């Protein structure tokens, strides 16, 4: 599922392909529109204009067309394509045909993501009750948000209304690198450790985004390339284990992640 680093990679992809290129035709499936936004509204905003800049907030990507912003959320499997003919027509749910003959496509094999339109990105973020972006939240605010939260630390990291951008895979990576067990209760983690967790969160997300969220480019000391039951832990002589945390498959090394349990 696309998380913050993936969404940064999608923004880079959009900027290196479709940015500033006039849109000749817009086709969007009603099925991927949300919140009463119509096919006509999206086509009206996009056609004749170009995507001029991008913004991201957590797992959301915004692309400005004239005075409005297209909103993209990628669900479980969403991504973009750019080609002379749509690469995956069956799963292309929004297609921006550019004047240069290329198609910039929003492709989502499982329709769990959506496309939307807004006049104001900040208002949209507030309306959706999204927390601060995980790469922009300050250490003090991160500690404060966590300290006011009950329950397990992995769930807290993944709560988009608290901090936006971290999902299942990167939550595991962050907790692995911080040496914290994913089932630890937030209230049992001291302030200094929460500060460390903030630093690790931002370092992991930034490094992953810098590597285009491509796991084959990640350091071998990371957990992500070893997300398999019984895999050798990249940091110790132990093994990676798969457990469930709030119904989500979670990978953990019980030796490295012993800080609190
Ligand atoms: Zn280990």
pLDDT for 170-227, tens place per residue?
Answer: 999 999 999 999 999 999 999 999 999 999 999 999 999 999 999 999 999 999 999 9
Ligand 1 center to residue 85 CA distance, Å? 47
Beta pairing, strands 103-107 & 163-164:
unpaired
Ligand 1 center to residue 6 CA distance, Å? 26
pLDDT (average), residues 57-71 = 97
Query: Is it the case that residue 259 has pLDDT exceeding 80?
Result: no
Tokens 């003919």 belong to residue: 85
Q: Which residues 6+ apart lie within 8 Å of 218 measured at CB? A: 207, 208, 211, 224, 225
Ligand 1 center to residue 247 CA distance, Å? 23
Ligand 1 center to residue 257 CA distance, Å? 7
Percentage, residues of the chain above pLDDT 90: 92
Q: Rounded to an integer, what distance in angstroms lies between the CA atom of residue 162 and that of residue 164?
A: 7
Ligand 1 center to residue 17 CA distance, Å? 41
Ligand 1 center to residue 225 CA distance, Å? 14
The sign of the torsion formed by the CA atoms of 156, 162, 163, 169 equals positive
Ligand 1 center to residue 122 CA distance, Å? 41
pLDDT (average), residues 220-244 = 97
Ligand 1 center to residue 255 CA distance, Å? 5
Q: Rounded to an integer, what distance in angstroms lies between the CA atom of residue 46 and that of residue 66?
A: 8
Q: Which domains does the chain have, with CATH numbers?
A: 4-127 (3.20.190.10), 132-252 (1.10.8.50)
- The tens digit of pLDDT for each residue in 1-59 reads 899 999 999 999 999 999 999 999 999 999 999 889 999 999 999 999 999 999 999 99
Q: What is the pLDDT of residue 230?
A: 97
Tell me the HSE value of 254 on the side-chain side, using a 13 A CA sphere. 6
- The tens digit of pLDDT for each residue in 138-162 reads 999 999 999 999 999 999 999 999 9
Whether the CB-CB separation of 180 and 197 falls below 8 Å is answered with yes
Ligand 1 center to residue 40 CA distance, Å? 53
- Banded model confidence at residue 260, pLDDT cuts 50, 70, 90: low
Q: Which residues 6+ apart lie within 8 Å of 229 measured at CB? A: 240, 241, 242
Ligand 1 center to residue 244 CA distance, Å? 18
């Amino acid at each position: 599922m696309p998380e913050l680093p993936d969404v940064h990679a999608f923004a880079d992809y959009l900027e290196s392909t479709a940015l500033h290129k006039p849109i000749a035709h817009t086709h969007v499936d009603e099925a991927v529109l949300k919140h009463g936004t119509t096919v006509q509204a999206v086509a009206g905003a996009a056609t004749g204009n170009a995507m001029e800049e991008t913004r991201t907030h957590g797992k959301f990507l915004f692309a400005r067309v004239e005075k409005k912003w297209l909103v993209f959320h990628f669900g479980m499997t969403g991504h973009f394509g750019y080609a002379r003919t749509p690469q995956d027509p069956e799963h292309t749910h929004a297609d921006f045909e550019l004047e240069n003959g290329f198609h910039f496509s929003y492709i989502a094999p499982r329709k769990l993501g959506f496309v939307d339109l807004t006049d104001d990105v900040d208002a949209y973020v507030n309306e959706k009750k999204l927390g601060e972006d995980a790469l922009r939240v300050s250490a003090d605010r991160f500690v404060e948000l966590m300290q006011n939260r009950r329950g397990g630390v992995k769930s807290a990291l993944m709560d988009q209304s608290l901090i936006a951008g971290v999902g299942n895979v990167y939550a595991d990576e962050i907790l692995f690198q911080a040496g914290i067990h994913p089932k630890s209760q937030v209230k049992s983690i001291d302030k200094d450790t929460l500060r460390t967790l903030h630093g690790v969160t931002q370092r992991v997300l930034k490094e992953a985004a810098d590597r285009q969220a491509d796991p084959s480019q990640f350091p071998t000391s990371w957990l992500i390339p070893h997300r398999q039951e019984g895999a050798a832990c990249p940091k110790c002589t132990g093994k990676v284990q798969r457990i469930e945390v709030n119904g989500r498959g979670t990978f953990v090394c019980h030796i490295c992640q012993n800080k609190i349990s």
